[in-house]
Amino acid sequence: MERSARVLGRHARRGKFRPMGVELVFGPGGQIPGLSFTLADGTRMELAGRIDRLDVATDEDGQTYLRVIDDRLDVATDEDGQTYLRVIDSKLTPLEVYYGLKLQLLTYLHVAEKWAAQQLADKVKGVGAFYFRIYDPLQKTDQPLAAGDAEKLGLESYRMEGFLVNDPTAVELMDEGLKGRSQLIPVIINKDGSLRKSDSIWNEEELVQLRQHLERQFIAAGNEIMQGNIAIAPYRLAKETACRFCTYRAICQFDALLPENSYRWLPKLPREEIMARLEQAKGGEEHE
């Protein structure tokens, strides 16, 4: 915890983003409004949750930027009371959002921007959402390192993952004077000053489309809940499955060897096809 706190201090010294709120509860009875939807049968569904940290920064022209940071640490306790810590995978790609596998981080930014737009007089722009891992990494090297090199390697091991908008101003506010690869956020600056393409860099139109898709995903999930769909059909995407870290396997008892059990196979799609499908979805239902 102490080491992680020192890294967050480094973020503050190298950037302009400052906490606007921490442990923000949204939804019924929360500090900020959540999301609500009307389902096919007329049921009203309210979405609730908690945002670990909401940061804000303002540029020289008065534009206000928002980013969300979510702490990542998994704690498990065995039958003997022994506690174990595990660092959770903190990557996020448009493909995972498209299939509804990871909606938490984007939801936080979506909710926060809607709320902040009502609270702040200036125009608000959500520019990123990140996972910050709380852990004490072990560095492996072939030889002893100088103090400065060891510190650099340690800082890079805490680099936040998630996504950010392709906006050089926002990047500068997060990591001032950045050249090359950032030690703080998942971005690399090319020699011409542009941001190198990656799954972590989304353009503004992609963010808009994925946020719209996010709400459709929640409505679809709510409809399936109300219809009583409890089929045992975990997803499988390449080598990843929903069963990998599931704590309910003893209840579900899914077994791929049984003829009545089968995975929900999700094909890997290129980013361009995902965005094309989302564009088509504006006028109707998406096709799987």
First-last CA distance in the chain: 43
CA pseudo-torsion sign 223, 266, 88, 272: negative
Measured distance CA(51)–CA(268) in Å, rounded: 30
Report how far residue 237's alpha carbon sits from residue 155's, in angstroms, rounded to the nearest whole number: 32
Which pLDDT does position 276 carry in this prediction? Answer: 93
Q: State CA 46 to chain mean position distance.
A: 21
**72 — pLDDT class (breaks 50, 70, 90):** confident
Whether the pLDDT of residue 171 is over 50: the answer is: yes
- At 145-170, the pLDDT tens digits run 777 777 777 777 888 999 999 999 99
Mean pLDDT of the chain: 87
pLDDT in tens, 192-224: 888 889 889 999 999 999 999 999 999 999 999
DSSP 117-148: HHH-SS-EEEEEEEEEE-S-PPP--SS---HH
Strand duo 264-265 + 235-237: pairing: parallel
Structure tokens at 195: 């941001």
**Cβ(165)–Cβ(130) under 8 Å?**
no
This prediction's pTM: 0.87
Torsion of CA 56, 26, 216, 68, to 10 degrees: 20
Q: Name the token pair of 183.
A: 């030690």
